[in-house]
Each structure stands twice: as structure tokens, then as C-alpha cells.
């Protein structure tokens, strides 16, 4: 079977769904691999490296004959039309709120898998694209904040005097937030962090951060069985806001990462809180694409409100594309490896496999994922 890796068509997407390393491994599984010319350029992978790994360098029209298509983002409707009926599409399809597109995958006869739905179980950790990409976003958020800050982060004792350490506050201590804490600590900042999940407390402390939160009864029950945060009550949010307002006024850098699955991002930083911050402070909103944690943050822009810079970069993992692609490609390879039948050396979709059940949106002309099947019926 043939695997095709196109160049991403979305202009904000520099990542690519394969690396020379995973091309070699896919060939090792028995596939032939075609990579579209220039697919890796923005991830610092020249065609020559894909070629040396054993891929054929092709063009967009190679999608037609591919049995498996690996992408970062969902294809455009015109790209969809170029895919062969019965092909497997594996990408971050971002399907929530877009039933029509999911229907279109079914109508195109695709077996479409969305990688964001990979269950967070031990077996699937190596395929967890949300974690691999969020981890890099957390790192990059600190790098972006440091670049905007215009001051040093570590305390420096120099012959010309002492420079104090920057104070960094991380809101939301999931995968991205924990990496932001670790990165800010490595740069010498004094780090505090908050979350609504009690489990985060120990994790923040283990990275050398100080945990700050309203620890009431609701907090003790705020984690779902899946490990995610619940949407908090208005009362909790008010208590949290009061605590944050006090703390944030003393911070130099704030990094917000708070998300709730399937819901808009919670608003954690208001205009009033921003107004209480010192001019020259920096706020990075990693949730800006999901509605934003910070009032006034603008997707794709760095804005200044009362002297405070608010950073709202889009596709933050894409800002560190070479590393992001390397890890994303490994996530995809691990998934394909489990889907591949060792004897026929071809993809064999086992509908009883829990990883397939969780990620397969469409199959054999139908919408099969329970979250979408009803809307499609
Ligand atoms: P996420 O991206 O959904 O959200 C980021 C963080 O924001 C979370 O920690 C969440 O609790 C927090 N948050 C939500 N509302 C908030 C609010 N009002 N105020 C402050 N913080 C708020 O989370 P994630 O990074 O995907 O991690 C979710 C969970 O999944 C974590 O428990 C993590 O440890 C777990 N996880 C498990 C695995 C695995 O076992 N394979 C892999 C990755 C993550």
C-alpha cells in the first residue's frame, strides 16, 4: 500500500506529518511512501532528506492513488475530492462543531481518524498528539514571553549590580502549563501556578513551582474520570478571580493554558486584572484559538493594553515546527504500526480496537463515531 504525505495547504501550518525517520520506519512496515515536494520545507526537512530515507518525491496529484494519507490539519474540501475512495485519512481533523465536514469524509468513502481523540491510556501515550504538541506549546510560550519581555528572567548578580528574577505565573497546569513551568524555572524565573484540578498541586510543586488555588470542596471534585477539568461554577470562578487579581498584579509574565474539552476556554484574566499589572509585563494566551483565557487577547496578534503586552500567537507548536513535526510524525507512526497487519503488510482496521473506536470518525461511507453518528443520521 502507498502512504502519501501532502504539503499542508493551510497557510498557518508549517508542520508536516512525516519525518525522514518515520518514512524509513513506514517503509520497514511494508508501505511505499510518497512525500509531496516541499512538504517539509517549513519544518526544516529538505526533499533530499525524505528522498534519502526512501520516499518518492511527488506532487499533490499523488493523493489520488494513495491508500493512506497522513496530514497535520484537516484537508480542504477540494483536497478531499482528490482522495481515493476507501483510503484512510489520519490527521488532527478538529471535528467538533463541524458535522458537515465529518459527513463529507463519509461521503468521500474515507476511513477518517482524528488523532486528538486518542484515549489518554498508557498504551496510547506514544500516539498522544495533544500531549506532544501541547508540551512544545508550553515551552514556546515561555520563549515568546521572554522575547517580548525585554528584560532578563534569571536573577543576575553582576559587577554593575543585581537584577531581580522575573516572576512568572502559569494558569492551567496540564501538559502545556507544566512544560511552561519547567521552562521558566530553567530560565531562572520565580514560578507560581494555578489549576482547578487537585492533582496539579503536586505536579507543580515537583517542578519547583508554588501552587496557588482556591482549594474548596468544588476544587476537590473538579477532575473528571478522564483527567480533564470540569467547567467551574460561577461562585468558584468569582473566588478564583479574587485570588488571581491579587496575585497577578505582582507578576512580570503570565502564561495561560486553561482549556475544558468541548467548551470555550474559561476567562481567567479580565481587563481589570490587566490594568493592575505593571507596564512592561507580558501575558501569553495559549487558549486564544479556543476563545481565549485573557480579555482583549487577539488571535494571531501581539496587542498592548495599558503597557501590558498580550501575546496571542496562532498555532504555537508550529512556531517550533521542526521539533513539532518530528514528534507528531512519531505519534502517527506509532498509530499506523498498531493498525498494520503484519502478514498482509497493509492497514487493517479492527473496529473492536479501543484506539480505533475512539478515533475513527467515518468508515465505509458512514459516520461511525458516537459523538457524530447521531447528528449524521
Ligand atoms: P487541557 O489542555 O484540557 O487543559 C489545560 C489545563 O487547564 C488543565 O490542567 C485544566 O485542569 C486547566 N483548567 C481548566 N479550567 C481551568 C480554570 N478555570 N482555571 C485554571 N485551570 C483550568 O489539559 P491537558 O494538558 O490536556 O491535560 C488534561 C489531563 O490529562 C491532565 O490530568 C493530564 O495529566 C492528563 N494527561 C494524561 C495523559 C496520559 O495518561 N496518557 C497524557 C496527557 C495528559
pLDDT digits (tens, 9 = 90+) for 119-134: 999 999 999 999 999 9
- The finding on whether 241 has its CB within 6 A of some atom of ligand 1 is no
- Number of Cβ within 10 Å of residue 167's Cβ equals 18
Task: Pick the residue whose CA is nearest to atom 32 on ligand 1.
Answer: 227
C-alpha of residue 197 to centroid of ligand 1, in Å: 8
- The finding on whether 174 has its CB within 6 A of some atom of ligand 1 is yes
C-alpha of residue 7 to centroid of ligand 1, in Å: 31
Give the mean pLDDT of 268-272. Answer: 94
Give the mean pLDDT of 206-232. Answer: 90
For residue 20, which of 63, 54, 43, 65 has the smallest C-alpha distance?
54
- The finding on whether 197 has its CB within 6 A of some atom of ligand 1 is yes
Q: Which ipTM score applies to this complex?
A: 0.95
Identify the three-state secondary structure at position 291: coil
Mention every residue, 6+ apart, whose C-beta is less than 8 A from residue 294.
254, 256, 267, 268, 269, 274, 283, 285, 288, 310, 312
Indicate whether 372 pLDDT > 60: yes
Q: For residue 120, which atom of ligand 1 is closest to its CA? A: 41
Least confident of 44-53, 86-95, 178-187, 260-269: 260-269
* Distance from C-alpha of 243 to C-alpha of 239, rounded to nearest angstrom: 6
DSSP state letters, 57-73: EE-GGGGGG-SEEEEEE
* Distance from C-alpha of 44 to C-alpha of 322, rounded to nearest angstrom: 6
C-alpha of residue 9 to centroid of ligand 1, in Å: 30
Residue from 218, 227, 230 to probe ligand 1 pocket by mutation (most atoms less than 8 Å from CB):
227
> Catalytic amino acids?
120, 125, 128, 131, 228
- Number of Cβ within 10 Å of residue 174's Cβ equals 22
- The finding on whether 179 has its CB within 6 A of some atom of ligand 1 is no
* Distance from C-alpha of 211 to C-alpha of 17, rounded to nearest angstrom: 37
* Distance from C-alpha of 113 to C-alpha of 69, rounded to nearest angstrom: 10
Q: How far, in whole angstroms, is CA 164 from its chain's centroid?
A: 33
Mention every residue, 6+ apart, whose C-beta is less than 8 A from residue 121.
354
Task: Pick the residue whose CA is nearest to atom 11 on ligand 1.
Answer: 229
Residue from 127, 172, 215, 225 to probe ligand 1 pocket by mutation (most atoms less than 8 Å from CB):
172
Q: For residue 197, which atom of ligand 1 is closest to its CA? A: 11
Is pTM beyond 0.90? Reply is yes
For residue 172, which of 141, 150, 216 has the smallest C-alpha distance?
141
Give the mean pLDDT of 149-166. Answer: 96
C-alpha of residue 331 to centroid of ligand 1, in Å: 19
Residue range 81-95, pLDDT digits in tens: 999 999 999 999 999
Inter-residue contact 59 to 31 (CB < 8 Å): no
Task: Pick the residue whose CA is nearest to atom 15 on ligand 1.
Answer: 258
C-alpha of residue 263 to centroid of ligand 1, in Å: 13
Residue range 29-87, pLDDT digits in tens: 999 999 999 999 999 999 999 999 999 999 999 999 999 999 999 999 999 999 999 99
* Distance from C-alpha of 7 to C-alpha of 203, rounded to nearest angstrom: 38
* Distance from C-alpha of 331 to C-alpha of 357, rounded to nearest angstrom: 17
Indicate whether 161 pLDDT > 60: yes
C-alpha of residue 165 to centroid of ligand 1, in Å: 28
Q: For residue 194, which atom of ligand 1 is closest to its CA? A: 20
- The finding on whether 258 has its CB within 6 A of some atom of ligand 1 is yes
- The finding on whether 228 has its CB within 6 A of some atom of ligand 1 is yes
Place of cell 505582582: 250
Amino acid at each position: 500500500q502507498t502512504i502519501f504525505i501532502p504539503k499542508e495547504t493551510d497557510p498557518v501550518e508549517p508542520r508536516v506529518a512525516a519525518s525522514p525517520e518515520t518514512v524509513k520506519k513506514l517503509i520497514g512496515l511494508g508501505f511505499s511512501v510518497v512525500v509531496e515536494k516541499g512538504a517539509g520545507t517549513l519544518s526544516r526537512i529538505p526533499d533530499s532528506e525524505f528522498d534519502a530515507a526512501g520516499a518518492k518525491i511527488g506532487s499533490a496529484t499523488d493523493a489520488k492513488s494513495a491508500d493512506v494519507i497522513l496530514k497535520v490539519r484537516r484537508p480542504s474540501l477540494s483536497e478531499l475530492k482528490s482522495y481515493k475512495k476507501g483510503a484512510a485519512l489520519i490527521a488532527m481533523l478538529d471535528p467538533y462543531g463541524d458535522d458537515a465536514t465529518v459527513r463529507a469524509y463519509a461521503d468521500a468513502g474515507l476511513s477518517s481518524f482524528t488523532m486528538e481523540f486518542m484515549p489518554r491510556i498508557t498504551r496510547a501515550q506514544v500516539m498522544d498528539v495533544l500531549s506532544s504538541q501541547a508540551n512544545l506549546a508550553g515551552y514556546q510560550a515561555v520563549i515568546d514571553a521572554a522575547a517580548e519581555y525585554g528584560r532578563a528572567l534569571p536573577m543576575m548578580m553582576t559587577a554593575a549590580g543585581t537584577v531581580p528574577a522575573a516572576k512568572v505565573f502559569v494558569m492551567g497546569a496540564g501538559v502545556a502549563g507544566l512544560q511552561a513551568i519547567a521552562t521558566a524555572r530553567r530560565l531562572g524565573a520565580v514560578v507560581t501556578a494555578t489549576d482547578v484540578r487537585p492533582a496539579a498541586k503536586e505536579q507543580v510543586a515537583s517542578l519547583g513551582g508554588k501552587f496557588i488555588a482556591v482549594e474548596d470542596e468544588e476544587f476537590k471534585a473538579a477532575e473528571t474520570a478522564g483527567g480533564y477539568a470540569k467547567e467551574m461554577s460561577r461562585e468558584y470562578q468569582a473566588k478564583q478571580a479574587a485570588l488571581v487579581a491579587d496575585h497577578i498584579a505582582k507578576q512580570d509574565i503570565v502564561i495561560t493554558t486553561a482549556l475544558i474539552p468541548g467548551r470555550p476556554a474559561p476567562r481567567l484574566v479580565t481587563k481589570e486584572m490587566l490594568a493592575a499589572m505593571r507596564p512592561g509585563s507580558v501575558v501569553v494566551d495559549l487558549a486564544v484559538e479556543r476563545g481565549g483565557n485573557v480579555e482583549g487577547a487577539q488571535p494571531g496578534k501581539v496587542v498592548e493594553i495599558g503597557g501590558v503586552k498580550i501575546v496571542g500567537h496562532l498555532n504555537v507548536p508550529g512556531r517550533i515546527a521542526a521539533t513539532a513535526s518530528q514528534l507528531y510524525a512519531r505519534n502517527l507512526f506509532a498509530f499506523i504500526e498498531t493498525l498494520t497487519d503484519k502478514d498482509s503488510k497493509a492497514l487493517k482496521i479492527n473496529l473492536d480496537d479501543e484506539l480505533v473506536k475512539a478515533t475513527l470518525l467515518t468508515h465505509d461511507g458512514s459516520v461511525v463515531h458516537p459523538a457524530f453518528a447521531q447528528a449524521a443520521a
